[in-house]
Structure 1
Amino acid sequence: MDIALGAAVRIRRRTIGMSQEALADQCGVSFQQIQKYENGANRISFSRLVQISRALRCRVTDLMDVFDGADKETAEDLDLLTHMRTPGALELLSAFERLPPEVRSSLVNLVRTLTNQAAAAAAKEAAIA
């Protein structure tokens, strides 16, 4: 839960173009503390969550939507948040969104091909070992 909430904070912060330092200043904590919240290393208290949501110009519930229900959609949301924590993922997504649709389609096909080739190579190596 701490990881999912931290990821939601990070996504919202980056979406509005705010740095960790700026968020930290508005919340009265160090930017290292914001890093710990975003990585799920430290639990965010409710009072701190209220401060963070005000600084991010959103409602507390906007950040906590990842916890609504335990259905498949929520699991997929949590999985997406985990993927978005991968270094470079948000930068890649931001750049991807700026590409023309035909270039996006070509890029997706290229990544699928590379992924399939990597999986085949890994399977071949596992069979040899």
Structure 2
Amino acid sequence: MIDAPNPVDVHVGRRVRLRRRELGVSQAWLADRLGLTFQQIQKYERGANRISASKLYAIAKLLEVPITYFFEGLDDPATPTGRQYAQAFTGVVEELLAEPNGPQLAEAFLSIRRRSIRKGLAELAPAIAANDQAQAPDNDREAAQ
């Protein structure tokens, strides 16, 4: 049985992907500067492989963010928890914004003024997702990375 990735590794990987895409740089660009393969960057971004402290430091330097950037949205281990609900949605929002059409989708949704139309769209999206999962998988996500 294969263990699922650690949620902290997944979160850090998502933040790497988010920042890399904000800067408009490819996985190959980042991998080249780190002396890695782009496949290793893919694994980091999925949380499948843990990023060592030294690699995270180098990534932060290349992506021009403080180390703390990668941990934003996680509960501070020195304080009591209680933000799981907000934290779960922070991850969803980060993942949406990291997708190629994510920012455009979010902005379009927020520009809809009528609450009933927003509600209808929110109900339609899960139906589309369920239908998509029932179909044969396509390679749009992999090609976009």
Cα 1:111–1:59 shift into 2, 3 Å: same
Q: CA deviation at 1:73?
A: 3.6
Contact kept in structure 2, 1:2 and 1:41, CA below 8 Å = yes
CA offsets, 1:4-35, max 9 Å, x none? 11111111111221111111112111111000
Q: 1:93 is matched with which residue: 89, 98, 102?
A: 102
Aligned pairs, how many? Answer: 116
Q: If you compute each CA radius of gyration, which structure gives the higher value, 1 or 2?
A: 1
TM-score calculated relative to the size of structure 2: 0.63
1:25 aligns with 2:42: no
Structure 1 residues not aligned, in runs of 5+: 119-129
Q: 2:52 is matched with which residue: 27, 45, 52?
A: 45
Partner of 1:3: 10
Cα-Cα RMSD: 3.1
Q: CA deviation at 1:98?
A: 5.0
CA offsets, 1:14-63, max 9 Å, x none? 12211111111121111110000000110100000000101111011111
Contact kept in structure 2, 1:66 and 1:74, CA below 8 Å = no
Q: 1:61 is matched with which residue: 59, 68, 86?
A: 68
Partner of 1:77: 87
Partner of 1:15: 22
Q: Secondary structure, in 3 states, of the residue corresponding to 1:66?
A: coil
Cα 1:99–1:84 shift into 2, 3 Å: same
More helix by share: 1
Contact kept in structure 2, 1:49 and 1:60, CA below 8 Å = yes
Find the aligned partners of 1:2 and 1:104 in 2 and give their Cα distance.
37
CA offsets, 1:58-95, max 9 Å, x none? 01111122334263445523443256547x96233221
Cα 1:110–1:30 shift into 2, 3 Å: same
Structure 2 residues not aligned, in runs of 5+: 1-7, 128-145
TM-score calculated relative to the size of structure 1: 0.70
